[in-house]
């Protein structure tokens, strides 16, 4: 897909790439996130949507990176609403779902593009109680799970942009039954929702600030966080992994 009206700030991407290369702390936490996504994938070729600077491929095998625009950092230009049906084993996206004005149109597109048994693996901000407090103070995008309501078609702002970091919790907790029904009609099912990340993730400083802790300490902190029970993380975590799977065809009846 190529749209001349869609433009990227390449200087911002280049700045992010330089920060990635220069920050062991940032790489330590984000590579752990990518490994967690890879652990939910099935074997075979994977497509990443909204790949940005395309660094997930350093961790995830057989990954084709894409974004709305073809840049030096990604392999292809792909819209989340027009995913090429190339028998993908997995379709991955990090911090993409909460920017989609039509989340179920994306899921329908992904379902058509996946092979039977293939998976959609999404890493998203978590609009838990803890997540809402954190993002309210430290992030410019809104985190409003209660605003994620049927028919799940959301309007852009005056600048033509949309974001709601509460999308994951809105769909997979508040409206879980409705979401499951809509997904079932597409041949998809929810495999699992995993909550993660408390202190190590913000301590990286992200792509714009200095890290608060060195990489070895962050790795140790990640190890501690990953031992916490999901019941606690479901209240406090800053991020969540959503895993969906396309139904395999029923076996042919014997004559």
Q: What is the pLDDT of residues 135-145, one digit of tens each?
A: 999 999 999 99
pLDDT of 47-101, one tens digit each? 999 999 999 999 998 999 999 999 999 999 999 999 999 999 999 999 999 999 9
CB neighbour list of residue 160: distance below 8 Å, 6 or more residues apart = none
> Residue 254 falls within a domain, yes or no?
no
Q: Cα separation of 232 and 128, whole Å? A: 10
Q: Cα separation of 59 and 34, whole Å? A: 6
> Residue 4 falls within a domain, yes or no?
no
CB neighbour list of residue 151: distance below 8 Å, 6 or more residues apart = none
> Residue 15 falls within a domain, yes or no?
yes
Domain limits for position 190: 10-246
Omega before residue 184 within 30° of 0, cis: no
Residue 250: pLDDT band with limits 50, 70, 90: low
Phi, psi angles (nearest 5°) of residue 135: -70, -30
| pTM for the whole structure | 0.93
> Residue 21 falls within a domain, yes or no?
yes
CA 1 to chain centroid, in Å, comes to: 21
Numbers of helices and strands, H then E, in the chain: 9, 7
21 with 28: CB under 8 angstroms?
no
pLDDT of 161-200, one tens digit each? 999 999 999 999 999 999 999 999 999 999 999 999 999 9
> Residue 169 falls within a domain, yes or no?
yes
> Residue 104 falls within a domain, yes or no?
yes
> Residue 3 falls within a domain, yes or no?
no
Side-chain half-sphere exposure of 141, counting CA atoms within 13 A? 19
Residue 9: pLDDT band with limits 50, 70, 90: confident
Residue 5 is predicted with a pLDDT of: 41
Higher pLDDT, 206 or 104: 104
**In this structure, what CATH number is given to the domain that contains residue 73?**
3.40.50.150
89 with 98: CB under 8 angstroms?
no
Residue 1 above 70 pLDDT?
Answer: no
DSSP 119: E
CB neighbour list of residue 236: distance below 8 Å, 6 or more residues apart = 128, 129, 130, 131, 198
Residue 251 is predicted with a pLDDT of: 54
> Residue 2 falls within a domain, yes or no?
no
- Number of domains the chain is built from: 1
């Amino acid at each position: 897909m190529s749209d001349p009206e869609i433009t990227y700030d390449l200087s911002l991407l280049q700045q992010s790439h330089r920060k990635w290369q220069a920050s062991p702390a940032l790489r330590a936490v984000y590579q752990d996130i990518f490994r967690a996504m890879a652990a939910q994938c099935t074997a075979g070729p994977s497509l990443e949507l909204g790949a940005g600077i395309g660094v997930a491929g350093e961790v995830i095998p057989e990954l084709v990176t894409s974004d709305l625009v073809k840049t030096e950092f990604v392999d292809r230009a792909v819209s989340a609403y027009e995913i090429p049906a190339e028998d993908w084993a997995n379709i991955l996206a990090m911090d993409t779902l909460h920017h989609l004005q039509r989340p179920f149109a994306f899921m329908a597109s992904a379902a058509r593009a996946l092979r039977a048994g293939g998976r959609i693996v999404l890493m998203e901000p978590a609009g838990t109680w803890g997540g809402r407090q954190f993002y309210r103070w430290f992030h410019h995008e809104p985190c409003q799970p209660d605003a994620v309501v049927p028919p799940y078609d959301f309007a852009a702002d005056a600048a033509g942009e949309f974001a709601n970091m509460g999308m994951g919790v809105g769909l997979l907790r508040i409206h879980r039954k409705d979401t499951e029904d809509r997904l079932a009609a597409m041949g998809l099912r929810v495999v699992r929702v995993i909550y993660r990340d408390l202190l190590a993730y913000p301590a990286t400083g992200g792509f714009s600030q200095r890290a608060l802790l060195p990489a070895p300490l962050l790795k140790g902190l990640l190890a501690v966080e990953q031992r916490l029970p999901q019941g606690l993380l479901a209240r406090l975590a800053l991020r969540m992994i959503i895993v969906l799977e396309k139904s395999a065809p029923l076996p042919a009846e014997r004559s």
